[in-house]
Structure 1
């Protein structure tokens, strides 16, 4: 897949946003947390090196697997013996990019061959410069990689033409001279020149038509200068617009992160409120059940006070509803009676009415009996709690909202 045939930075942005936002079977195999960084790397690369164009294509691994990946296809400029040339390369962004370096290949045309025994390019075209070997995430990037490729290939070009070609323009500017005329080999043939994409320079005229050519060149130069100025202005405006849009997008992403944090806090608070509401509803059910019990007890004992309070037997004022309640009442009464007896014994010792050794014997006996009564009361209380829970579970459907 290739982006629209335009140098417009916005068109490239739209293309990258489209292919990196796809999901399902057509999604590119990059992790979601690195797609934004991949997009930024490619946009920065196309800004500094417009000759490298982002595309999607099928990449075949050494084990035969094929996968659809992003690539930067184009040329990197080099300067070799005072002439400018362009090296065709393909930069593949593998699945683990940018945590791992991309896979770079030189891409010779039909009339080019790869230099044998090149220190950084093997016969298949795979590039292994030190920058790739020392790749560090997240500081390493494609812009620095392209600069390093230009520097390394400028010192030792990896591509050459298969045979030297004659120069069709004898009056061509010296800076455009090919490398085919630089030195001779031992056999007397011309030294093979690298890539055939030199930088373009305006030709010069010759003979008696010099004045006419110069006049025409002046008009062309003025026109070209105006066009270049307009292009520079448009390019500057585009860069400024791009930076503004990127800053806005960064602010939107930050706002989105803040909103997500607030959403999490809101959901957490809502969950806590729901939990509290459930707890209050359960407490309300318990209160309603206790209300029913008290109202039933009042109805049952309402007529017992008609004869007057002076005729009430204190021991029979309260009736235990079951065996556990009766046992709990007895244990509590014994516990409180022993407390009173111990208090009386302490008073007797303080007043000298009882010897101290007799006091100790009585307190030990009473404490032993009090301990057993308290242990029995604890067991009875646990049994009552279990019975109450079972009763609440049986009555719960009546108060369900």
Structure 2
């Protein structure tokens, strides 16, 4: 019977039946050792049994370089996929459940982080892969000694299932048992069971596990490379901010230099025009009066400049009159006559200078010698 026909006869919500069919068919394409069927799951609280879709078969694991097939039953609850599947390890007559196992209790119910964190993105394939991994780390069954009696597994009850989905400890108390770990069942022991023979998908499952390991290594390398790239990107971002600041600073300096260059050019043009103007003025004059080059800034300054020149000229004249008298170039009477004239003129010039200085607020100590 196909999965679709089987699911159509079970009391699942009609809206989730297509997803159940799709998920189960996808799982069976890889794990062909699992076979779908309808089995009852007893509810202790309600006292009734519910018919659920069950996947019975084996899940391959690898322990110390050898492959073993672990018999399991996978129940899909009515609330699937909102709640995780229920996985039971079903030991055969030649097997016994390992007591104190971290992920499997005495009834064979499996506890694992993947089931506890079951969400909308969880899949049955990843669940089986997780079971294969945890079984490979710690086998849940071992070869039952001939002296140990066989106890058939009890049918699963719904209250134990409910407690497993909400538990956060994963049977850690059982994991602390001091009992030594029994050896896993030998491969030959598993293959002797007719209902759990290794299917033709063994090589496919082995290849799947190998590819998963290679993909995990690839993801780890990619994650490290991404972290390195992110760190480099952070450094580049900080460097980019620093470069932007330096660029803005250089732009301001360039603007200031451009303004200074323009101002310098303007001043240079003004000086050039002034020089040209003065050159033209000088070329238009036949002779240049040196006295015209020195002028005062106002009338009083010009007058004082002229009076000071007069005083200095009279001093020079008196000096040369004295030399002329000594040399006999002039007699005494003429020398005294000219001296009186020059002295009177010099006195008036000095008095005029003093009056100008006092008029403009100058000091009275100013004396022209």
TM value normalised by structure 1: 0.38
- Structure showing greater radius of gyration is 2
Q: Which has the higher contact order (CA 8 A, sep 6+)?
A: 2
TM value normalised by structure 2: 0.41
